[in-house]
Amino acid sequence: MVSFTKIQFENICRVLHEISTGNLGYRLRFSESDEYYNLQAKYLNLIGEIYTPYLVELAKHDKKANFPIFLEIHLREDLMIREVSHNIFGLLGKNPGDYIGLSFRDLLTEESLKGWKKLKSNFYMPTPVQFGTRFNFQVNHWLYYSCFCYITGQPDGSFKVTSQKNEKYRDVNAMMRDMGLSNQKGNFKHSRFTITEAETNKNRDKENLQNLLQFMEEHLEEPTPDMKSLAHRFGFNEKKLVKHFKMTYNQTPYAYFTNKKMQRAMNLLQSTHLGIEDVAASVGYPTKSSFYKAFKKKFGIPPGAVERGF
């Protein structure tokens, strides 16, 4: 006889209900021992991954179609919650007032905390802050809400975290491989949508580029990797990576990574007491001479000529 715990059953019912309303952001956690429950969780999670892009595309042309729920969280300068959107109760299960004064990290799953910790190190630069990343918000032990969010710095030093309605989801085949499911011909079709190989490849390439950008943002303090290993890490060959990257961002991955490093270096020189060698090390340059050369090529002046802002 198949049986679920009360909370497992309630979560399955909740996800089914949310799917019926067009909200496909909920994901079920897997059990370490209950394989039958895990099978239900796999397929419900897969529904969200498959149909969200098509729901969003449909909604562009149909005003009556449902978008994924929009979420907004306003953080104080110390990253404690100042204000939340009213629909957070429907998403995460607590009244809006219960979140005021909590740390934003208290809302996240353990997996998202790792990314949040890395992002925070970039929040207090002189240049305006805007990052995009996926967050998993904890609902309960067996359930979390997953959505792509932007973190944007405000003029008063606070930050806003907002979910993006037009989300970029993982491609279906990759997710099915991760879950150990087969994608047999004829499975997972919809009366109005058919997932084609070309669409899948296009979505995968877009997501891989986004993941590459995030990797660069989070590893500016490390030496620039060679393009071949970087390409393989994110599912490209070297030639294809350079081609797609230049088409999308009008520069090579190497140039993009170097420019990001130099921008951070300039910010550090202008806003901190760090010496030039320390700044060089903080953006992945092991020697002062190599940093000097890259900095002067970018800005036309040596690091020592930068006017310090302290």
Q: Is 261 part of any domain? A: yes
Q: Are 155 and 211 part of one and the same domain?
A: no
Q: Are 230 and 283 part of one and the same domain?
A: yes
Predicted confidence at residue 232, as pLDDT, reads 81
Q: Are 221 and 299 part of one and the same domain?
A: yes
What is the mean pLDDT of the segment spanning 76-102?
Answer: 84
Report the CATH number at residue 143.
3.30.450.20
DSSP 170: P
Predicted confidence at residue 123, as pLDDT, reads 66
The pLDDT tens digits for 54-82 are 555 555 455 444 444 467 899 998 889 99
The pLDDT tens digits for 111-151 are 888 878 777 766 655 555 566 777 889 998 889 888 878 88
Q: Are 211 and 155 part of one and the same domain?
A: no
Task: Give me the number of domains the chain comprises.
Answer: 2
What is the mean pLDDT of the segment spanning 96-123?
Answer: 83
Q: Are 156 and 214 part of one and the same domain?
A: no
Q: Are 156 and 216 part of one and the same domain?
A: no
The pLDDT tens digits for 4-60 are 788 888 889 988 888 877 778 888 988 887 888 888 888 888 887 777 665 555 554
* pLDDT reading at 86 higher than 60: yes
Q: Are 157 and 213 part of one and the same domain?
A: no
Q: Are 159 and 215 part of one and the same domain?
A: no
Predicted confidence at residue 81, as pLDDT, reads 93
What residue numbers bound the domain in which 96 lies?
72-163
Q: Are 143 and 209 part of one and the same domain?
A: no
The model's confidence at residue 230, banded by pLDDT at 50, 70 and 90, is confident
Q: Which ranges in the chain belong to alpha helices (H)?
A: 6-21, 35-61, 88-92, 110-120, 172-179, 197-218, 227-233, 238-249, 253-271, 276-282, 288-299
| Domain boundary residue, one of 163, 195, 216 | 163
Q: Is 97 part of any domain? A: yes
Q: Is 293 part of any domain? A: yes
Residues near 48 by Cβ (< 8 Å), separated by ≥ 6? 19, 24, 25, 26, 27
Q: Are 158 and 225 part of one and the same domain?
A: no
